[in-house]
Amino acid sequence: MPELPEVETMCRGLHPIIGMQIASALCPKISVKPCGMYPEKGKLLKKLVGCEVLGIERRGKRVVIQLDGGNLVFQPKMTGLVSLTDPPDPGHVRLILKVQKKAGSNRKNIAQPEQVFFWDRRGLGTIALWTNEELENHLGPDVLGIDALTISVSELQSRSIKSKRPIKVLLLDQKVVAGVGNLYASEILHRIGVDPTRGADSLSDKEWIALHAAMLDILQTAIRYEGSTLGDGTYRNALNENGSYQNHHQAYDREGERCSKCKRGSIVRIVQAQRATFYCPACQR
């Protein structure tokens, strides 16, 4: 399920490895197909060994481990998980990095992690080692940005306003704004009472302002709750605990339930661009 809040939570959980060194890198033998890697597996693993972890950063829905040998970029897609604790099961671990204190480091022995793993049940996720330039080339403007520097209303509006695509579908386009996922797109539009099927070009200035504010508020709130752990429970925070924002969803996965906002309509499920959308036809116009 990794959307922005879940990826942000993963990144925060990785901070203890900053300053440490990669002692070894391996792909465990598993019965399912290996996940996508760039460069190809052998080269990638070799390049990682000996690198020092300089920092951790979220870019859109990607986890970036900054190394002195490049940026190690994980794209969790549907079911990926980057963590220091135990994976949900051993059969879908795609990469293990053993980490150690750097020689000569004077770091105290405060909960030194021993390994980082990338677990991905479906295996749609990817791992890439990119230069700074390659990383920048793959970036869209982030919803929350570095150090919570957010995209502005005018920037959001100018990037969207010419499009006739349904507003819900447009919010999922990572080239327009990076970080909004399927679940949170439904929540955002429900909050501001806008019908997800409306063309992006039909929104008023006032609605763009509301959309922008709701987007930031919902995503930041979801980060505080460490994301949403859905049905199959694959997503966990750094301590291997479930997120809790799923308890605050107003629309997503609430088909048939009474709308919490208007108390009149009930939530319906439709399909847009082959993805589920949940909304209240009574109050989202």
Partner DNA sequence: ATTAATGTTCAGAA
Partner DNA sequence: TTTCTGAACATTAA
Q: Which residue(s) pair with 269 in the sheet?
A: 278
Structure tokens at 209: 């302002």
CB of 181 to DNA, least distance (A): 2
Contact region with DNA (CB under 7 A), list: 21-29, 57-65, 148-156, 213-221: 57-65
Q: Do you find a cis peptide bond into 39, omega within 30 degrees of 0?
A: yes
- Under the binding rule (CB under 7 A), the answer on residue 122 touching DNA is yes
CB of 73 to DNA, least distance (A): 10
Contact region with DNA (CB under 7 A), list: 17-25, 47-55, 58-66, 103-111: 58-66
Q: Could you tell me the end-to-end alpha-carbon distance of the chain, in angstroms, rounded to an integer?
A: 28
- Under the binding rule (CB under 7 A), the answer on residue 121 touching DNA is yes
- Under the binding rule (CB under 7 A), the answer on residue 79 touching DNA is yes
Contact region with DNA (CB under 7 A), list: 95-103, 106-114, 116-124, 259-267: 116-124
Structure tokens at 59: 């870019």
For tokens 């795609």, the residue is 94
For tokens 């940005």, the residue is 145
- Under the binding rule (CB under 7 A), the answer on residue 3 touching DNA is yes
Cβ 176 vs Cβ 161: under 8 Å: no
Nearest to DNA of 22, 143 (CB atom): 143
Of the candidates 35, 10, 14, the one whose C-alpha atom is nearest the C-alpha of residue 94 is 35
- Give, as ranges, the residues between 167 and 226 that touch DNA (CB under 7 A): 169, 172, 174, 181-183
| Residue choice 29, 103, 274, 285 for contact with DNA (CB under 7 A) | 274
Structure tokens at 97: 């990095």
- Strand-by-strand arrangement of the 115-120 sheet: 21-26, 93-100, 115-120, 80-83
- Under the binding rule (CB under 7 A), the answer on residue 232 touching DNA is yes
Distance CA(264)–CA(176), nearest Å, equals: 34
CB of 89 to DNA, least distance (A): 8
Of the candidates 131, 80, 110, 91, the one whose C-alpha atom is nearest the C-alpha of residue 19 is 110
Query: Which residues carry out catalysis?
Result: 2-3, 61, 275
Q: Which residues bind DNA (CB under 7 A)?
A: 1-3, 32-33, 60-62, 75, 77-79, 91-92, 121-124, 138, 162-165, 169, 172, 174, 181-183, 228-232, 234-235, 269, 273-276
